[in-house]
Amino acid sequence: MLGSLAATFGTLTGFAVAFLLPARRGTRTQRVFLGFASAFAPGLSRVFELPSGDHLVVTCGRSEETPSGLAFRGYSDRCPHLGCRVHYDDGADQYFCPCHAGVFSADGEGISGPPAQAGQRLQAYHLEVDGNSLYAVVNTG
Amino acid sequence: MRHLLGNPAQWLRSRFPVDQEALTAIGSEPIPGHLRRWWWCIGGTPAYLFLVQIASGILLTFYYVPSPEFAYDSVAAISDEVRFGSYLRSIHKWSSHLMIIAMLLHMLRVFFTGAYRPPRELNWMVGCGLLLLTLGAGFTGYSLVWEQLSFWGATVAANILSAVPIAGDQLAAFLRGGDTVGQNMLTRLFVLHIGAIPTLMIGCLAIHVYLVRAHGVSELGSPNSSDSEPFPFFPNHFLTEVALALFLMFFLTCLALIFPADLGERANALETPEHIKPEWYFFWAFRWLKLMPDQVAVVTQGLFLLLIVLWPVIDGRIRKRHPDSEISMAVGGAAVVLLLALTVWEALYLMT
């Protein structure tokens, strides 16, 4: 009887814990249309809200390797230190977190403040340019 | 721990004194022999299913969003995205159905064995209150999904309340929280479903169990029959209830896996579906409403419920004049046949 009770309600407790914990993201991805690449110019940065509710900072730079001469990079605007929102400083080509003066380089690496001390970096998003359309490739679980 | 508290068991006993002898005496109180039969556990079944409802309901509340804009999506997310979400939602739904079935069977048993008679009249009334609260929990829970059927079910229910004489409009306005079915009504349904109704049920259940203990379980049949020998509640009957709880968990899991809780179309306040229907336990009332004007239907339903609640008092008066009267069998039989007939009639109508 005790064994049956432990097995039944132990399993159910496991279900309850799994129910409460957020599901781990799987490997399925989806392209999310962000806008037209031609609407960007070098040094320009825009913030997009993704279907998941996360915010994505897209920054445009120059590139000799692409036909349009533009290169895009995308990072989550969530500071890995305590979750404040970072913004792009086009003059320094850096991302700045106002909460604890965290600074991230153009490739998302923490270079000053608490994120640098903890070796943290901004979460990068994979961006794709298809014709003139700019997409973010996001994980949908 | 041992360094801090000395002997932890002794530390706890001195801070939380329990009279072990009194506890044993309460637990091992003898109960009538007929409770050895499985069928007689039907009274404890709704109580166990109520615990299942509370546990699964608390978990579902972690994800449910009580807003007309997000309620449907949050239920869809529970079903489709959250781990074990569909299972828990199905367990919550099926345990509510089983709870109502078990309560009805328990009431039938109590009625037809005359267990509501003195001194247990008040406990019958408390039991009726528990049934009405359970039906209320069923209605409010069904409405929270905010799909087409439940939305229009809630709309119709609020309109039915308007047909209550004298205070009808005020009752409907109270349930709606205004003139239309929207955010205010959903908030009220949510508060009733997860707060007010369960709290009242816990209170009624405590009184119900206390009165069962105070009056003892009613004896059944001849005192010389083979199963009249009393036996202790703990561990004998308690273990029977535990075994039943394990079986119910298995049965609920089977139901949840074979018939998972579905999700209809999203609520649309601009379009009433062709057929709206309540849950099966309201079929009888729904059919009754179709047979006569709203106000007549609501008043007669109210009188019918009052008759059920007050039957022990009415029966007591009758038996005072005619001690051998078995009119309760005829009245109970007629009521069961009427309710079943209306329920089946409505079910057949909805199937066509």
Instruction: Identify the pLDDT of residue A27.
Output: 72
Here the tokens at position B113 are 């064995």
Same domain, B174 and B309: no
Same domain flag for B343 and B213? no
Overall average pLDDT of the B108-123 stretch: 94
pLDDT range class, residue A141, cuts 50, 70, 90: low
Facing A23 at nearest CB: one of B62, B82, B242: B82
Across the interface, whether the CB atoms of A19 and B85 are under 8 A apart is answered yes
A33 in a domain, yes or no?
yes
**Nearest-CA distance A7 → chain B (Å):** 10
- Indicate if B213 and B112 belong to the same structural domain: yes
Return phi, psi of residue B12, to 5°.
-70, -40
Given a contact cutoff of 8 angstroms between Cβ atoms, the answer to whether A138 and A30 are in contact is yes
Look over chain A and give the mean of its residue pLDDT values, rounded to a whole number.
89
- Amino acid B269 reads A
Question: Do residues B90 and B143 share a domain?
Answer: yes
CATH code for position B318: 1.10.287
- Lookup result for tokens 């009639």: B345
What pLDDT does residue B28 have?
Answer: 82
- pLDDT single digits (tens) B279-310: 999 999 999 998 998 899 999 999 999 999 99
In the predicted structure, residue B228 carries a pLDDT above the cut 70: no
Report if residue B299 sits inside a domain.
Answer: yes
Q: What percent of chain B has pLDDT over 90?
A: 67
| Min distance B93 CA to chain A CA atoms (Å) | 16
Average pLDDT in the B135-152 region?
95
Q: What is the CATH number of the domain that holds A32?
A: 2.102.10.10
Q: Comparing C-alpha atoms, which of B240, B244, B220, B245 is closest to residue B230? A: B220
A41 at B interface, C-beta within 8 A: no
Task: Note the pLDDT tens digit of each residue in B27-75.
Answer: 888 888 877 777 777 888 999 999 999 999 999 999 999 999 999 999 9
How high is the pLDDT of residue A26?
67
Domain range spanning residue B38? 33-217+229-272
Rounded Cα distance, A47 and B255, in Å: 47
Residue of A15, A19, A25, A52 to mutate, testing the B interface (most B Cβ within 10 Å of its Cβ)? A19
Q: If you measure CA to CA, which chain B residue comes closest to A7? A: B246
Are B114 and B238 found together in one domain? yes
Residues 6+ apart with CB under 8 A from A31: A128, A135, A136, A137, A138
The pLDDT-based confidence of A24 (bands split at 50, 70, 90) is low
Looking at residue B50, what is its pLDDT? 97
Chain B contact for A131, CB < 8 A?
A: no
CA distance B171 to chain A (A): 37
**pLDDT band of B111, cuts 50, 70, 90:** very high
Give the CATH number, domain containing residue B267.
1.20.810.10
Query: Does residue B262 form part of some domain?
Result: yes
Q: Is residue A23 within 8 angstroms of chain B, CB to CB? A: yes
Does a structural domain hold residue B184?
Answer: yes
Total domain count, chain A: 1
Please tell me the predicted confidence (pLDDT) of residue B74: 96
Tally of CB atoms within 10 A around B144: 23
Q: What is the pLDDT of residues B243-264, one digit of tens each?
A: 999 999 999 999 999 999 999 9
Asked if B70 is an interface residue toward chain A (Cβ–Cβ < 8 A), one would say no
Q: Are B281 and B349 found together in one domain?
A: yes
Q: Crossing angle, helix B283-291 and helix B294-321, to 10 degrees?
A: 110
Task: Please indicate, yes or no, if residue A34 is contained in any of the structural domains.
Answer: yes
- Closest by CA position to A61, among listed A125, A4, A22, A106: A106
Reply yes or no on whether the pLDDT at A61 is more than 60: yes
Residue B223 has pLDDT above 60, yes or no: no
pLDDT at position B222 over 70? no
Specify the DSSP element, H or E, that contains B257.
helix B238-258
pLDDT at A109 over 80: yes
Q: What percent of chain B has pLDDT over 70?
A: 97
Region B310-322 average pLDDT: 94
- Could you report the per-residue pLDDT of B156-208, keeping only the tens digit for each? 888 889 889 999 989 999 999 988 889 999 999 999 999 999 999 999 999 99
Q: Where are the alpha helices (DSSP H) in B145-237?
A: 148-162, 168-176, 183-191, 197-215
Assess B83–A contact: CB distance below 8 Å, yes or no.
yes
Where residue B327 falls among pLDDT bands split at 50, 70, 90?
A: very high
Q: Measure B72 CA to nearest chain A CA, in Å.
A: 17
pLDDT higher than threshold 90 for residue B216: no
**pLDDT at residue B350 tops 90:** no
What tokens were used for B281?
């336990």
Contacts A17 to B, Cβ<8 Å: none
- Residue B2 is predicted with a pLDDT of 65
**β-sheet bridge partners, residue A72:** A60
Pick the last residue of a domain from B237, B272, B307: B272
CB B179 within 8 A of CB B269: no
Residue B239: inside a domain, yes or no?
Answer: yes
Residues B236 and B298 in one domain: no
- Which of B55, B87, B242 minimises the CB distance to A1? B242
Q: Are residues B318 and B351 in the same domain?
A: yes
In a domain, B16, yes or no: no
Q: Are the Cβ atoms of A16 and B59 closer than 8 angstroms?
A: yes
Proportion of chain A above pLDDT 70, given as a percent: 96
Same domain, B241 and B281: no
B23 part of a folded domain: no
| Count of the separate structural domains present in chain B | 2
Domain interval for residue A135: 26-139
Helix (H) and strand (E) counts in chain A: 2, 10
The per-residue pLDDT for B218 is: 80
Q: What are residue B27's phi and psi, to 5 degrees?
A: -70, -35
In this structure, the answer to whether residues B309 and B205 fall within a common structural domain is no
A19-23, B135-139, B227-231, B281-285: segment of lowest average pLDDT: B227-231
